[in-house]
Amino acid sequence: MQRNAALELLLDSTDVIAFFDDDYVPSAYCLQGIEDFFRRHPAVVAVNGLLLADGINTAGIPYEEAISLVDAHDKNGRPDARVICSLDGLYGCNMVYRSAAIGAERFDENLPLYAWQEDIDFAARVGRQGALALTTAFAGVHQGVKAARLAGVRLGYSQIVNPVYLMRKGTLSVKAGIQLIARNLVMNHARAFKPEPWIDRRGRCKGNWIGLLDLLIGRDHPKRILSIRQ
C-alpha cells in the first residue's frame, strides 16, 4: 500500500506527516499553519484542516474554481492555529499526524483498492495516543474528482462490509457503523432510478446486496471486492 510505503520512508526523518489527496488544493499558508499548530498543541496527535469546499458529493469542483476559493481565503492572511473541535476520526483528503504518535501503526492492507474508511480506521488507532482535532491552522478545497474512483458494485460492497470489519476491530463504534451502513443503503436505493450522472447508484445497490448476503452466510471480508465483477 502506497501510504505504508511512505510511512516506512518518512517516520524516522520527520516530526509530522501529512496525507493530502491529489485533488486537494491547499492554502499557501498550509505548511506554516501545520508547523505552528503542532508546536502550540502538544496533546493533539492528528488533525484535519478546514475544508473551504468539498466536491465529493457533487460533480466535482474544477481546479480553477478551487484555486479561486483558496486565493480568496488567503487574502485574509495566515489564520490562527486554534482547535475548532475534537474529532472521533479524520477525513482522508487532508489529514496530518505526529510521527511519534503513529509509531508501529500502519494503514490496514485488508482494505484494498479504494480502501474505503481506511482513514477512519487509521485515525482511530493513532488517536489512542492523544487527541484528534479540526483546526483553523490550514485550509483547502477538496475537488472530489470522479476519475479513477472505485466502480459502483465494488464500492457498494465496501459500504456494507468495511464498516462491519471496522466495528469488529473496535475502530468504529457500533452506532456509527450502523448509521453509516444505513445512510448509504437508503441513499443508493432512493436515487437508483434517477441517479446523479457521476454516481453508479444501481451498481452500488447491487454491491450493497452482495455485501448483505455475505454477512448472512459469514463470507464477508473487505478483500472480497477483488473477486467481485462489475
Q: Which grid cell is 154? A: 465494488
Name the pTM for this structure: 0.93
With beta carbons less than 8 A apart as the criterion, state whether 27 and 138 touch: yes
For 23-53, b/e burial (b = at least 16 CB within 10 A) is bbbbbebbeebbebbbeebeebbbbbbbbbb
Confidence band for 147, pLDDT divided at 50, 70 and 90: low
In the predicted model, is pLDDT for residue 151 greater than 80? no
Band of the pLDDT at 19, cuts 50, 70, 90?
A: very high
| Euclidean distance between CA atoms 7 and 75, whole angstroms | 34
Mean pLDDT computed over 36-60: 96
Say if CB 126 and CB 178 are below 8 A apart. no
Amino acid at 183: R
* Average pLDDT of the residues of the chain: 95
User: What SS3 class is residue 94?
Assistant: strand
